[in-house]
């Protein structure tokens, strides 16, 4: 994972459905299925199921905890109090202790700030997280959904104080949400952060099951407005889905496997989080680990989903040609 010595499986099991769409019996089966398939990284958050996801995992992982990389997140409200959300020092300490209790463990491997808290100074949060790393309660700190400037500022603050710094970044990333390639992926690669992506299926859009259903389908999370389309999707999302479905047919696999495999082929990606409501979905997602594209298929997916460069890259990407063209030496004409 990034510059660290930590090794994570290329697929990470996400537990967002636990306690809301997946009961404990099915959760137990899914966790064991993931572990048996070789997945060593489990992702959760205190806000999933209002704490139920962490509580489920705490029971299910009994006797297996030390063999796994356990990641959780904090930020979202976990009570009615004015300090029951965010990333203040008070909230960081309180959130971690609550997660440790629910997860029945005395340490977290990767602890993420879930969202941006513009009301708390970065120094306050980073100092608190550093204290918890030094206390042995957190192995690595990380963030999710940060803009490039905020992530860079956080790294600078940590480095200038010799504090533990973010070692992992968790963004939304899929064939129809490729925005992070413009600034965040180059930043993470330059600074050595591992990238663990969420929503590789664009909340189900890339399975093709919502086409013609106006974004809602009975018996799925879309009934509760969990499907984010088209808010975050690129304008070429439908064209991209067409190619996903074509390649799934060519490879005799599911569209979900095509979408997940594409993520795993991208530079800088340490792991992709796969979530499911039941074991059948999870088995299908896990099969993406064995899928292989031809060079032509990979190129088709990458080309159809490409986003146009934004300024300043749209202006500056070919400036090396201008610079090279300004060099006039007789030897270059030979």
Residue bearing tokens 């109090």? 81
DSSP per-residue letters across 209-231 = TTTTTTT--TTSGGGGT---TTT
- 158 and 126 in contact (C-beta within 8 Å)? yes
Q: What are phi and psi of 198, to 5 degrees?
A: -115, 155
Question: How many other C-beta atoms are found inside a 10 Å radius of the C-beta of residue 223?
Answer: 11
Q: How far apart are CA 137 and CA 156, in angstroms?
A: 23
Element holding 272 (H helix, E strand): strand 269-275
Nearest Cα to Cα of residue 175 among 146, 202, 148, 143: 202
Annotated catalytic residue, options 48, 112, 146, 169: 48
d(Cα 104, Cα 115) in Å, to the nearest integer?
Answer: 24
User: Do 190 and 183 form a contact (C-beta atoms < 8 A)?
Assistant: no
**Any residues with CB less than 8 A from the CB of 116 and at least 6 apart, and which?**
145, 146, 147, 150
Active site residue 107: no
3-state secondary structure of 74: strand
> Which positions are catalytic?
48
């Amino acid at each position: 994972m990034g510059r660290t010595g930590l090794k994570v499986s290329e697929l990470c099991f996400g537990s967002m459905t636990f306690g809301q769409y997946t009961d404990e019996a099915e959760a137990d089966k899914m966790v064991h299925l993931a572990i048996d398939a070789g997945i060593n990284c489990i992702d959760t958050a205190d806000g999933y199921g209002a704490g139920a996801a962490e509580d489920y995992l705490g029971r299910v992982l009994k006797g297996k905890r030390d063999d796994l990389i356990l990641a959780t997140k904090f930020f979202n409200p976990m009570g009615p109090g004015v300090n029951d959300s965010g990333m203040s020092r008070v909230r960081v300490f309180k959130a971690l202790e609550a997660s440790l209790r629910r997860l029945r463990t005395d340490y977290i491997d990767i602890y993420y700030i879930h969202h941006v808290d513009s009301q708390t100074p970065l120094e306050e949060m980073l100092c608190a997280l550093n204290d918890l790393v030094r206390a042995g309660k957190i192995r690595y700190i990380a963030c999710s959904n940060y803009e490039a400037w905020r992530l860079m500022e956080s790294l600078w603050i940590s480095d200038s104080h010799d504090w533990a710094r973010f070692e992992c970044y968790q963004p939304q990333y899929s064939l129809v949400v490729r925005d992070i390639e413009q600034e965040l992926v180059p930043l993470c690669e330059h600074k050595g952060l591992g990238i663990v992506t969420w929503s590789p299926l664009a909340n189900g859009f890339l399975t093709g099951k919502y086409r013609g259903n106006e974004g809602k389908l009975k018996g799925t999370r879309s009934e509760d407005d969990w499907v984010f389309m088209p808010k975050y999707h690129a304008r070429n999302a439908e064209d991209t889905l067409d190619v996903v479905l074509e390649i799934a047919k060519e490879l005799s696999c599911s569209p979900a496997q095509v979408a997940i495999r594409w993520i795993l082929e991208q530079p800088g990606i340490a792991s992709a989080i796969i979530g499911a409501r039941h074991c059948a979905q999870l088995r299908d997602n896990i099969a993406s680990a064995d899928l292989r594209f031809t060079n032509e298929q990979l190129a088709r997916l990458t080309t159809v989903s490409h986003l146009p460069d934004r300024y300043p890259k749209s202006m500056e990407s070919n400036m090396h040609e201008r610079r090279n063209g300004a060099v006039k030496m007789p030897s270059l004409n030979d």
